[in-house]
Amino acid sequence: MDLQMKKSEQLKNNRSKKHHYLPRHYLKGFVNSEGCFFIYDKQNDKILPKPLTPDVAFFENNLNTVTLPKGEISDFLESCYTDIENQSWGPLDKIRGSSSKTPIQLLDKMSLFLFLLFLHWRLPSNIKHVEELSKEFFGANNKNLNYFTLKNKSGESVSKEIVDKIKNSSAFKKSSKLMLPFAPFYNTGWNESLNNNWRFLYTGDGNSWYLVGDNPIITKGDNDHDPVNCLSEFVFPISGNILLVNTNKPINNNLSPEFVIQFNVSIIERAQRFVACQNKDFLEALIKNYKVYVQFKKTDSIITEMFDMLK
């Protein structure tokens, strides 16, 4: 009994608590030469007084902590995310080190696409939608989510009672965010978008002009909670000086400096609370720009205007 108690206490002490929904390695692409950025708290309408490092930004305590059926507390989701991220950093770093003349390999795009799908469903803004979609696994009602099945040891389908017990558990509802990212790969056409529609845009002077926020994948909002088509069209900051643009009609022209402003204002608009930038003065100017939309009650047009600039 003492041994079990010691083991339980050891597991508790080793369990992680600070869970980043934006990985620290990703955030390092937006810091200044001192490894920091300035954070705008949108809810409280203020820039935090001191710049922060990625270690202490864009996280929530116990975001990926679950309670298992026997009452054991586990952070296995956080460990899974760490394993997935470690496979993504090589391709991401290649792209971050590229230039407008560098051909991006399809395999690197595929790795980035998988990273984006996992990122999309782990964001705090999507938690309630993950829980809703978790109800549709292991059933016939949603053909886009039938790629996971439940079988007993004999290979037979398990009873509805067991299925419902699993689906109603808090651990499964949280774990579903690790299952949803695979949906697009069970439907045809996902690779054509990577080949034909993805464009990487680089700042003209090589400096970091792009913000990052707690909801950094800017979509049109039409298919955000569709497991298959959630990333059918989007703009995403790879780093402070590289954007990834995916539109149904691929862009072939360089974008104007005004687009940089519009994208950054879109990051502020889509953020639930936090936005980061390595340049405080630039961040303050963007916030003022955003507040003009707020003043005239035009915030709904911000992202639409950004996508219109891509046509």
- Which tokens go with 145? 């989510």
Query: 99-108, 208-217, 248-257, 271-280: which range is least confident on average?
Result: 248-257
Burial 84-117 (b: 16+ CB within 10 A, else e): bbeebeebbebbbebeeeeebeeebbebbbbbbb
170 touches 177 (CB < 8 A): no
- Say how far apart CA 202 and CA 207 lie, in whole Å: 9
Beta strands in the chain (DSSP E): 18-20, 38-41, 46-47, 59-61, 66-67, 73-74, 198-202, 212-213, 218-219, 234-239, 242-246, 274-277
Strands 242-246 and 274-277: what pairing? Answer: unpaired
277 touches 283 (CB < 8 A): yes
How much is the pLDDT for 13?
53
Nearest to 112 by CA among 123, 102, 120, 124: 120
Q: Confidence band (pLDDT; 50, 70, 90) for 6?
A: very low
Residue 64 pLDDT > 80: yes
How much is the pLDDT for 143?
84
* Burial of residue 218, with CB atoms counted within 10 A of its CB: 0-12 exposed, 13-18 middle, 19 or more buried: buried
DSSP state, residue 182: G
Residue 253 pLDDT > 80: no
How much is the pLDDT for 5?
41
How much is the pLDDT for 12?
54
Query: Which secondary structure element, helix H or strand E, spans residue 14, and what is its range?
Result: helix 2-14
236 touches 278 (CB < 8 A): no
The mean predicted confidence, pLDDT, of the chain is 93
How much is the pLDDT for 7?
42
303 touches 235 (CB < 8 A): no
Burial 253-285 (b: 16+ CB within 10 A, else e): eebeeebbbbbbbbbbbbbebbbbbbbeebbee
- Which tokens go with 22? 């934006």
How much is the pLDDT for 144?
87
What integer is the mean pLDDT of 7-23?
Answer: 74
- Ordered alpha helix ranges (H), 168-301: 170-175, 190-196, 257-270, 280-295
What integer is the mean pLDDT of 256-275?
Answer: 97
Query: 139-143, 185-189, 241-245: which range is least confident on average?
Result: 139-143
Task: Name the phi and psi angles at 97, rounded to 5.
Answer: -90, 5
Residue with tokens 């994208």: 263
42 touches 268 (CB < 8 A): yes
